[in-house]
Amino acid sequence: MKERVLVAHISDIHLTSGYFSRELGENVVEEVNRVKPDLLVVTGDLTDNGHPHEYREAKAFLDRFKVERVLVVLGNHDSRNAGYMLFEELFGSRYPSVEVGPLRVVGVDSTEPDLDDGHIGRLAYRIVEDELKGFSGVKAVALHHHLVPIPGTGRERNIPSDSGDFLKLLSDLNVHLVLCGHKHVPWFWKLNEILIINAGTATTLRLKAHTPPSFNLITVNRNRVVAERVNSETLERQPICSMRIEA
């Protein structure tokens, strides 16, 4: 078993939107393929409105990543126009699980059809608990909506309505890492020994002031999680956070 794994975390691609940049998309694909991560995690908003042609383009785009293991979760834009049904046809379960080396990641659908607001729900609680309760390695959860407010994003909205209960569950399960997207602003919080990492938008120009498009590279072993942010335009890397994992 691998002792150390590299995770590429991208989010908010918004293919076919007027904000999508093909140049940024090419940069992200080429850089991720160059660094050869063990796992690619995509935290939603592959599309802009969940239409069939958008899903076909999203699938073709993600197929260009030469990564053996890929975990994809729904974003609020993907659930529009019954897009959640197309998601299941193209990407499988809305609650996927991947284990690689010391890491297990469980994906959660935090969306509600045709609404921007998030909700996780008791079904997801049971799935997360069943997948992670007996796991002895590094436990992670991936979802689209942010669980904690993100600074610099204006008036708060769209945090899942049950985020408090879900965070308590994650704390009770000793989850180490949460990966989110949605706000197009990269950030991280450490809460009750949980490292919560929000990705910015990887491939669009829908940006807040002085916030470049970006994605994350996260190195995980049994003792530590270390994350870097990669500028999608310049490919410059910036260390963003590190957390020691207690046995």
Whole-structure pTM value: 0.96
Q: State how many domains the chain has.
A: 1
CATH number for the domain spanning 170: value is 3.60.21.10
pLDDT above 90 for 8: yes
Tokens of 122: 């008791």
Per-residue pLDDT reduced to its tens digit, 52-66 = 999 999 999 999 999
In sequence order, the 6+-apart residues with CB closer than 8 A to the CB of 123 are: 95
pLDDT above 80 for 38: yes
pLDDT above 80 for 156: no
Q: What is the percent of the chain with per-residue pLDDT over 90, rounded to a whole number?
A: 93
DSSP-derived secondary structure for 208-232: -TT---EEEEEEEESSEEEEEEEET
Q: How far apart are the first and last CA of the chain?
A: 18
In sequence order, the 6+-apart residues with CB closer than 8 A to the CB of 98 are: 39, 69, 71, 104, 105
Average pLDDT, the chain: 96
Beta-bridged to residue 177, according to DSSP, are: 140, 195
Tokens of 48: 């802009």
| Largest pairwise CA distance in the chain | 47
Looking at residue 246, what is its pLDDT?
80
Looking at residue 155, what is its pLDDT?
76
| Residue 132 domain boundaries | 4-244
Band the pLDDT of 247: cuts 50, 70, 90: low
